[in-house]
Amino acid sequence: LTDRLTSVFDGLTGRGALSEKDVSAAMREIRVALLEADVALPVVKDFIAKVKKEAVGEAVIKSITPGQMIIKIVHDALVEMLGGEDSDPSLRIDSPPSVIMMAGLQGSGKTTTTGKLAKRLKEKDRKKVLLASLDTRRPAAMDQLAVLAGQVGVESLPIIKGQLATDIAKRALQAAKLQGFDVVILDTAGRTTLDEQMMAEAEEVAKIANPSETLLVADALTGQDAVETAKRFNERLPLTGLVLTRMDGDGRGGAALSMRAVTGLPIKFLGVGEKLDGLDVFAAKRVAGRILGRGDIVSLVEKAGEQMDAEKAERLAKKMSKGQFDLDDFAEQLRQLQKMGGLGGIMGMMPGAKKAKQAMAGANMDDKVIKRQEAIISSMTKKERAKPALLNASRRRRIAAGAGVHVSEVNKVLKMHQQMATMMKKMGKGGMKGMMNALGG
């Protein structure tokens, strides 16, 4: 974030919940930051609208400033929009020969990325790789790929001048089949602008080669054009992923967000240099920090997150010791359970909880059940969640109708909450040991 931005954020002093005014002021600056990072305008607008809605009314954690709180919310939303924290760089490899097709505008880095992927597939995945250039328009393009193949130590399809791209694709598949290659990477021709002939040719090649991965390679510095490029390629080709090149440059990489937003495709890799080892697995957190233009954002956000967790835990502990474990807390626990991979996950981590686990399994506590329980709790009013004693028969009927379940389901949730509250009370007194006793007995 720019200095100006930081000062705006430091100026937000409201306490309690984030106000509409504070959020709006901050969002104006976030908007500028995103545009400066070259995120496309329509994507910026959508993003701001979404985050604004999320942020207004959000409780401000005591130990961080409202500005930090908003930055955390913005950062988390960016990470989410970029594909979440655990993005998967693995390429789909079908029964050999599996085809990877590279598409993109001329100069975007297709040929270079082809070499880098070949190196990765060979060294990391131990695959036998064949490279084939379908770039019939630039005389030097085929030689460029052959040279790269030599540097990586993989084979490239012998060059026959004057063949059509589609014929080269067929020949590559044939050769791969006969010679037992695991993966064929087809490096296609690009043009400097989007044009019909290029698209038609690429489409034709995709039909013939039936690729298991079709990667759109795009220059991270393309900025506002990224949206149009991504849209057009995505309309014509069965794209499966994105590669953003020149992330080693000065650009802030806003194109990553734009392209991901319009295609919904995963960003798989980032090109970070001209050399063959200049290929990084995409990491949403890193790119989010870069788009916001703040190297320290990750540590800042982590700190904020830790403090939020700590405060939540503290609040819960206080409530527990007072025997005030309400239905909101119960819902929060259900969410935590889901985060930790369902009950199997959390129970599995606790020694001696076998009995409880069996009991829970008997109660059929899988993810679907947890979701339903959450739905039931969210059909209650705020007052009811805070004071479950209010829940008489008619209220229970109303809630059941709201959540689309039978009243007995509502009763079950309330009973579970009761049990958990009792358990929490013991735990509040006796710590871990208390909890174990509660669970075991």
- Residue numbering of the annotated binding site: 104-111, 187-191, 245-248
Question: What are the two backbone dihedrals, phi and then psi, of residue 244, each rounded to the nearest 5 degrees?
Answer: -105, 120
Least distance (Å) between residue 170 CB and Mg ion = 20
Least distance (Å) between residue 80 CB and Mg ion = 34
For position 84 contacting ligand GDP by CB under 6 A, the verdict is no
Q: Binding-site residues for GTP, please? A: 104-111, 187-191, 245-248
Q: Which positions from 25 to 64 touch ligand GDP by CB under 6 A, shown as an x/- string?
A: ----------------------------------------
Of 112, 136, 156, 240, the residue at the interface with ligand GDP (CB under 6 A) is 112
Residues 434 and 428: beta-carbon distance below 8 Å: yes
For position 426 contacting ligand GDP by CB under 6 A, the verdict is no
Of 67, 83, 104, 254, the residue at the interface with ligand GDP (CB under 6 A) is 104
Q: Which positions from 85 to 104 touch Mg ion by CB under 5 A, shown as an x/- string?
A: --------------------
Nearest residue to 374 via CA among 365, 387, 383: 365
- Our CB check for Mg ion shows the closer of 81 and 185 to be 185
Indicate the residue whose CB is closest to Mg ion.
111
Tell me the window of 32-40, 46-54, 101-109, 308-316 that interacts with ligand GDP (CB under 6 A). 101-109
Residues 136 and 163: beta-carbon distance below 8 Å: yes
Among ligand GDP, Mg ion, none, what does residue 222 contact (CB within 5–8 Å per kind)? none
For position 190 contacting ligand GDP by CB under 6 A, the verdict is yes
Q: Residue with structure tokens 């545009």? A: 35
3-class DSSP state of 280: strand
Least distance (Å) between residue 318 CB and ligand GDP = 52
For position 374 contacting ligand GDP by CB under 6 A, the verdict is no
Nearest residue to 238 via CA among 78, 122, 92: 92
Of 68, 98, 108, 229, the residue at the interface with ligand GDP (CB under 6 A) is 108
Exposed / middle / buried, residue 340 (Cβ in 10 Å: 0-12, 13-18, 19+): middle
For position 253 contacting ligand GDP by CB under 6 A, the verdict is no
| Length of the chain (residues) | 441
For position 111 contacting Mg ion by CB under 5 A, the verdict is yes
The dihedral of CA 246, 248, 251, 255: what is its sign? positive
Q: Where are the beta strands (DSSP E) in 262-410?
A: 267-271, 279-281
Output b/e per residue, 220-237; b: 16+ Cβ within 10 A.
bbbbbbbbebbeebbebb
Nearest residue to 204 via CA among 266, 268, 148, 136: 136
Residues 111 and 151: beta-carbon distance below 8 Å: no
- Looking only at the bridges linking them, the beta strands covering 183-187 and 213-219 are unpaired
- Looking only at the bridges linking them, the beta strands covering 267-271 and 279-281 are antiparallel
Residues within window 118-147 making contact with Mg ion, judged by CB under 5 A: 141
Least distance (Å) between residue 136 CB and Mg ion = 11
Question: What are the two backbone dihedrals, phi and then psi, of residue 184, each rounded to the nearest 5 degrees?
Answer: -115, 125
For position 234 contacting Mg ion by CB under 5 A, the verdict is no
Nearest residue to 97 via CA among 127, 76, 77: 127
For position 271 contacting ligand GDP by CB under 6 A, the verdict is yes
DSSP summary character for residue 222: G
- Our CB check for ligand GDP shows the closer of 42 and 107 to be 107
Question: What are the two backbone dihedrals, phi and then psi, of residue 358, each rounded to the nearest 5 degrees?
Answer: -65, -40
For position 211 contacting ligand GDP by CB under 6 A, the verdict is no
Among Mg ion, ligand GDP, none, what does residue 272 contact (CB within 5–8 Å per kind)? ligand GDP
For position 263 contacting Mg ion by CB under 5 A, the verdict is no
Among Mg ion, ligand GDP, none, what does residue 278 contact (CB within 5–8 Å per kind)? ligand GDP
Among ligand GDP, Mg ion, none, what does residue 109 contact (CB within 5–8 Å per kind)? ligand GDP
For position 274 contacting ligand GDP by CB under 6 A, the verdict is yes
Q: What is the dihedral of CA 397, 398, 399, 405, to 10 degrees?
A: 60
Chain contacts with ligand GDP (rule: CB under 6 A): 104, 106-112, 190, 245-246, 248-249, 271-274, 278
